[in-house]
Chain A
Amino acid sequence: MTAQPQGAEDRLRRLTTIWSRAVFPVTSTSLTRAEFEEQLLPLARRLSEALRAGRFDAAEGEAVGAALVEAHCTAPEALSRSLDCLDAYLVLYCGEGGDQEALRARCSRLQHAMAAGFARALRRRTLAEQEAIAQAALRAQGVVAQALHASEARFRAVFEGAAIGIGIADLEGNVLQYNGALLRMFGSEQNLRGRNVREWAHPEDAPHIWRLYEELVRGERDHYRVEKAFSRPDGTVLWTNLTVSLLRDADGTPQYQLALMEDTTERRLLHLRLRYEATHDALTGLPNRTLFFERLDKALNAGEGHRFGLCYLDLDGFKTINDSLGHAAGDRLLVEVADRLQSCVTAPGEMVARLGGDEFVALTTAADSRRQVEDLALRIMNALGTPIRIDGRELTVRGSIGVVEGAVGERSAAEVLRSADITMYRAKSAGGNRFERADPEADARVITRHGLTTALPAALDRGEFFIEYQPLVHLGDGSVRGAEALVRWLHPQHGVLGPDRFIPLAEHTGLIVPLGRWVLEQSVRQAREWRERHGGDTAAPLRINVNLSPCQLRHPGLVQDTVEILEHEGVAPDALCLEVTESALIGAEDEVLEPLHRLAEMGVDIALDDFGTGYSNLANLRRLPVSALKLDRSFTQSMQRFPADPVDLKIVEGIVALAHSLDLAVTVEGVETGAQAEQLRILGCDTAQGWYYARPGPPERLHELALADATG
């Protein structure tokens, strides 16, 4: 039957299926079981043929064993299950019709051969794979080593070529490695090789430097950055910006310390130089204003119990030297003065500085500053005593010194210097070539004066000024003839201030012009009111005396302003008397007198005030457009006593005679007693004013006096 070979093939298939079922679970193949079975089929056929071959060939069994390994049946179970399967089924399915005994023996030998083949192939494969993986590991290590080498070479180049100094030390501080830049900074190897970081303490080290270091090596800090100095073997100092970092291993355990150093020596020198230039005077090399204020601030903040002393020096007449000999000579003089001053400050805590121009200042913070500062002032005066030789000339240099001494903590540096400045000016106005001690009252006066000066303009705008009137009484009949207008300032802080406190300030600032005009307006208006109220009752109308300052005298609008005010109020010019001080007119040019002449021509009276205080050029009286003299109060003061000094009486009598001979009326001021008044009347004075009659007061008072006089 044709089914015969089909039957054999079918049996072979069945054997293969059993075999694959047994082995598949222990293989590592990624094939499906069906695919795997297809792989086993030729092996089963080979075994089947070897079983029935005429001569036994062990190689066939060995080849099948090797093929199993080839099919990834590498597990020992794959072999044992295969052998079990073949032992049970090979002869059964493939040995049909043969000698069963012989077939069994052949099958057994085939199994032995298969086991040997499997073992040999597995051994070969295992060795080959071990070889392959070892080779792969070696190659991979080679690749990594190469990469590491390249990386190390790169880092080595970075390390060596870095412009910044790099050093590595262990945690005990032993220097392990350093680069060229660090070596160049340190100057020589001896300072680096085998050294310990802790040996690099330097006197300039801030205390926290070594605290940070300890924290880092203990692993409590990962990095720090400080400014640090190192001593070089040649004795010079290396200044660095130092950054130290802690290097940890992969597990985070601290291993090394890495230091990066930037050489800042040059920069530091430059900085010091710039700092020196910023704090020293280029001409004399002395500390300048900036440094002086730094020191003064420091001294003034030294804490309780400390004192300080300060000499503020200004050369007398330096401007003259500068102007006559030139600035170059002036500069040389200042340099010499600076040198001499420098030699005066030798004690610790003393310094001298140039504040600018010819102003110098010496500071002492010695414990006994009270005595020290005066010694210092004397030393300075002495040092300036020897003439200075400039361009072959012997120049005598003198100076005025303001001395301030006191406990610290009470005043600011600016206040101290202001006091010294004020005191120095006091020394200067006392004639110079001397020193004065600061005096709080004198300071206060100057300071108040300054305050008043700045407050003046606003005071006028705010109407803080008012006028009081002091009656002028006719000595012959005791009648009130008029009044002198006296301006007052009702200061918000200082109360009522008299003209002596602020008129000089107003003169100085020019505010006197608007202020004077205001006084004139008010006074003329007042004169008109008096005239309206009792003009007809008295024989002569009340006149008003208004003071004219030297500044107003020179003001071009004087005549026009006066005329306008008189016209505006409708007051006749002869109701007004302008009082001008003697000193303002003595030696005055004709242009200055011209406006007075014009006013006098219009009918305004001009009185010469404070007569007798200055250099009274009697001859000059003739060319002045005055119609009255006001005798200074110093003449009347002696007449308060009884009997009066006969010489004084003679003088007054002479003046009155002279005045009358020039057709001038005479008014006396400061009359305080009846005896005085009587005396002056006998001497021939025309009118008088003073406390005996009335103090200056509001305009109503004058009205009352005039009425009393008229009815009395």
Chain B
Amino acid sequence: MERPPWAPRSIDISVPSVARIYDYYLGGSHNFEVDRQAARRAMEFLPGLPKIMQANRAFMRRAVRFALAEGITQFLDIGSGIPTFGNVHEVAQGASPGSRVVYVDHDPVAVTHSQAVLARNEDADVVAADLRKPREILASPQVQRLLDLNRPVALLLVAILHFVDDSDDPQGAVAELRDALAPGSLLILTHASYEGIPLPQERRLGAVDVYHDIRNPLIMRTREEIARFFEGYDMVEPGLVPMALWRPETAPEDEDPYAFAGFAGVGRLGAARAKAGRHHAAGAAGTQVPCTRRNGRGA
């Protein structure tokens, strides 16, 4: 029997994957020729792409350390990709053993690879889910098992939101996650932007086209648009800035110019905001919100 058109599609490794392209930029070999071709094509327009990725990793590392310094030992990393090295769990568990990490990705290969990497790590796990469906993430057994949403969590949305089109309401997804978090939680976020890329506009557009061709359109946003994702959060110093300028540990003048592309920032969830979100947090951690009422807690 021929495969019926309504059946889900199988994995097609002849289609480039954003996660594997990212790995290639970071010098990894967790990728196939189609990924490398796409990566090389994008690099023809933006030779500094590997530096941008590296800056992302470096920022993430600094931000995780900042979270640990804040006393946070729970991490939810959405869009984690292929965990090459310098991952959240390596940084967090290296500095604070017992830290709990849940990775989320919608690329099935990235998920199975992560499963292999984390096979013997009891405090870390991976969820196959989509940022566009936050409820599925929050309700997943992995999140339920590893994270206590009544305590602060560091939510990482590193280099992912620029793959979500406005028609998929990324703002709503980020807000829904926020409403599930306890006060004191952190939002750790980076986002691609035309601002700060040291190249003419047509070259930047060329790189964007490559991603469009591989059916993972890259949505460039302005600083103002990116700042809106932090609604409900208080920005941590120095605010939303080019990645290299967020609490640098190296003199910025030593950084590669590409490290200043895009924006990075960390927000802290205030008590007032989180209060409104408590309901959702309870609902997400345990049962659905309407059930809470049925359980008699509301009445």
CB-CB contacts below 8 Å: A120-136 with B? 125-126, 129-130, 132-133, 135-136
- Residue A80 at the B interface, CB < 8 A? no
Query: Which residue in chain A gives the minimum CB-CB distance to B128?
Result: A143
User: Nearest residue in A to B2 (C-beta to C-beta)?
Assistant: A176
Min CB–CB distance B31 → chain A (angstroms):
7
CB <8 Å contact, B5 and A32? no
CB distance from B54 to the nearest CB of A (A): 6
Structural contact, B58 and A140, CB atoms closer than 8 A: no
- Measured between beta carbons, the chain B residues less than 8 angstroms from A28 are 25-28, 50, 54
Query: Which residues of A sit under 8 angstroms from B85, Cβ to Cβ?
Result: 29-30, 72
B57 and A30: CB pair below 8 A? Answer: yes
B204 on the A face (CB < 8 A): no
How many Å lie between the Cα of A144 and that of B4 in the bound state?
15
* A-B contact list, 21 entries, CB within 8 Å: A28-B50, A29-B85, A30-B60, A30-B86, A31-B61, A32-B249, A129-B30, A132-B30, A132-B116, A133-B20, A136-B30, A136-B112, A137-B109, A139-B116, A140-B109, A140-B111, A141-B11, A151-B7, A155-B6, A249-B5, A255-B5
A135-B116 in contact given A28-B27, A30-B60 (Cβ < 8 Å): yes
CA–CA, A152 and B9, complex, Å: 12
Binding site for B on A (CB under 8 A): 25, 27-34, 72, 74-75, 125-126, 129-130, 132-133, 135-137, 139-141, 143-145, 147-148, 151-152, 155, 176-177, 247-250, 255-256
Q: Let me know if B8 is at the binding interface, CB within 8 A.
A: yes
CA distance A148 to B9 in the complex (A): 8
- Contact: A155 with B4, CB < 8 Å? yes
User: Bound state CA distance, A151 and B4, in angstroms?
Assistant: 11
Nearest A residue to B117, CB-CB = A132
Return chain B residues, CB-CB under 8 Å to A34.
249-250
Mask of B109-135 contacts with A, CB within 8 angstroms, 1/0: 111110110000000000000000000
User: Given A75-B27, A133-B29, A152-B4, are A140 and B54 also a contact pair (CB < 8 Å)?
Assistant: no
Are B1 and A177 interface neighbours, CB within 8 A?
yes
Q: Which residue of B lies closest to A36 (CB)?
A: B250
- Quick check: is B199 within 8 A (CB to CB) of the other chain? no
Which of B8, B26, B57, B116 makes the CB contact (< 8 A) with A144?
B8
* Chain A residues, CB < 8 A from B32: 133, 137
The reply on B169 being an interface residue by CB < 8 A is no
Q: Is residue B71 contacting chain A, with contact meaning CB distance below 8 A?
A: no
- Bound CA–CA A659/B86 (angstroms): 146
Contact B30 A33 (CB under 8 A): no
**B261, CB-defined interface residue at 8 Å:** no
Q: Which residues of B contact A136 (CB under 8 A)?
A: 30, 109-110, 112-113, 116
CA of A117 to CA of B2 in the docked complex: distance in angstroms? 52
Whether the Cβ atoms of A147 and B8 lie closer than 8 Å is: yes
Residues 64-86 of B at the A interface (beta carbon under 8 Å)? 82, 85-86
Question: When A148-B8, A249-B5, A255-B5 are in contact, do A72 and B27 touch as well, CB less than 8 Å?
Answer: yes
The answer to whether A144 touches B11, judged by C-beta atoms less than 8 angstroms apart, is yes
Q: Judge whether B10 and A148 touch: CB under 8 Å.
A: yes
CB-CB under 8 A from A125, the residues of chain B are 29
CB distance from A310 to the nearest CB of B (A): 61
Is B256 part of the contact surface with A, judged by Cβ < 8 Å? yes
Contacts of B1 in A (CB 8 A): 177
Chain B: which residue is nearest A176 at the CB level?
B2
B14 to chain A, nearest CB (A): 11
Contacts of A249 in B (CB 8 A): 5
| A133 pairs with B113, CB closer than 8 A | yes
Residues on the B chain within 8 Å of A74, using CB: 27
Whether B4 and A32, one on each chain, are in contact in the complex, defined by CB atoms closer than 8 angstroms, is no
Instruction: Flag B82-115 by CB within 8 Å of A: 1 or 0 each.
Output: 1001100000000000000000000011111101
Beyond A32-B249, A136-B109, A256-B5, 15 additional pairs, beta carbon < 8 A: A30-B58, A30-B60, A34-B250, A72-B27, A126-B29, A129-B28, A130-B29, A132-B30, A135-B112, A135-B116, A137-B32, A139-B112, A152-B4, A155-B4, A248-B5
Q: Which residues of chain B have C-beta atoms less than 8 A from A247's C-beta?
A: 5-6
**Cβ-defined partner of B250 (8 Å) among A29, A33, A250:** A33
- Chain B's nearest CB lies how many Å from the CB of A133? 4
B61 and A30 contact, CB distance less than 8 A: yes
In the complex, B254 has a CB within 8 A of chain A? yes
Q: Which 7 pairs show the lowest CB-CB distances between chains A and B? A: A136-B113, A30-B86, A129-B29, A30-B57, A28-B27, A140-B108, A133-B30
- CB neighbours of B205 from chain A (8 A): none
**Number of chain B interface residues as a range:** 35 or more
In the assembled complex, which residues on chain A have CB atoms less than 8 Å from the CB atom of B112? 135-137, 139-140, 143
B276 within 8 A of A: no
Q: How far is the CA of A177 from the CA of B57 in the complex (A)?
A: 53
CB under 8 Å from chain A, chain B span 46-61: 50, 54, 57-58, 60-61
A129 to B111, CA, bound (A): 15
CB distance from B199 to the nearest CB of A (A): 18
**Shortest Cβ gap from A152 to chain B (Å):** 6
| B13 is an interface residue with CB less than 8 A from chain A | yes
Q: Could you tell me the distance in whole angstroms from the C-beta of B88 to the nearest C-beta in chain A?
A: 11
A137, B4: Cβ atoms closer than 8 Å: no
Residues of B within 8 A of A130 (CB): 29-30
Residue of A27, A72, A140, A141 ringed by the most chain B CB atoms within 10 A:
A140
In the complex, what's the smallest C-beta–C-beta distance from B42 to chain A, in angstroms?
17
Q: Which residue of B lies closest to A32 (CB)?
A: B249
Contact of A32 among B20, B58, B109, B111 (CB under 8 A): B58
Looking at the assembled complex, report how far the CB atom of B78 sits from the nearest CB atom of chain A, in whole angstroms.
Answer: 19
Give the residue name and chain of the A residue nearest to B87 (CB).
Answer: A30
Nearest CB in chain A to that of B60: its residue:
A30
- A34-B254 Cα distance, complex, nearest whole Å: 12
* CA gap between A33 and B253 in the complex, in Å: 13
- 1/0 per residue, CB under 8 A from A, across B283-297: the answer is 000000000000000
The docked-state distance in angstroms from the alpha carbon of A249 to that of B108 is: 23
Contact of B10 among A32, A129, A145, A155 (CB under 8 A): A145
| Residue of chain B at shortest CB distance from A125 | B29
The residues in B between 219 and 249 inclusive whose CB is less than 8 angstroms from any CB of A are: 249
Q: How far is the CA of A256 from the CA of B32 in the complex (A)?
A: 35
A30 and B7 form a contact (CB under 8 A): no
| CB of A480 to closest CB in B, whole Å | 105
- Interface positions of B from 15 to 31, Cβ below 8 Å from A: 20, 25-31
Q: Kindly list chain B residues whose C-beta atoms are within 8 Å of the C-beta of A129.
A: 28-30
- Residues of B near A30 (CB, < 8 A) are 54, 57-58, 60-61, 85-86
Q: In the complex, which residues of chain B have a beta carbon less than 8 angstroms from the beta carbon of A133?
A: 20, 29-32, 82, 109, 113
Complex Cα gap A248–B82 (Å): 34
Q: Are B7 and A137 in contact (CB under 8 A)?
A: no
A-contacting residues, B179-212, CB 8 Å: none
In the assembled complex, which residues on chain A have CB atoms less than 8 Å from the CB atom of B25?
28
A143-B82 in contact (CB<8A): no
Q: Is B31 within 8 A of A151, CB to CB?
A: no
The CA of A250 and the CA of B10, in the complex, are separated in Å by 13
In the complex, how many angstroms separate the beta carbon of B167 from the nearest chain A beta carbon?
A: 18
Shortest distance in angstroms between B271's beta carbon and chain A's nearest beta carbon?
A: 33
Contacts of A248 in B (CB 8 A): 5
Please name all residues of chain B whose beta carbon is closer than 8 Å to the beta carbon of A151 when the two chains form the complex.
7-8
Most buried by B among A133, A144, A147, A155: A133
Q: Are A140 and B11 in contact (CB under 8 A)?
A: yes
| A184 CB to nearest B CB, Å | 21
Query: In the complex where A132-B116, A249-B5 touch, is A141 in contact with B86 (Cβ < 8 A)?
Result: no
| Shortest distance between the CB of A411 and any CB in chain B (Å) | 61
B10 touches A144 (CB 8 A): yes
Residue of A nearest to B82 (CB): A133
Q: Which residue of B lies closest to A126 (CB)?
A: B29
Q: Which of the residues B7, B13, B29, B60 comes within 8 Å of A148, measured between beta carbons?
A: B7
For the complex, give the distance between the alpha carbons of A75 and B50 in Å: 12
CB distance from B101 to the nearest CB of A (A): 16
B29 to chain A, nearest CB (A): 4
A95 CA to B97 CA, complexed, in Å: 42
List, in ascending order, chain A residues with CB within 8 A of B6's CB. Answer: 155, 247
Chain B neighbourhood of A132, CB < 8 A: 30, 113, 116
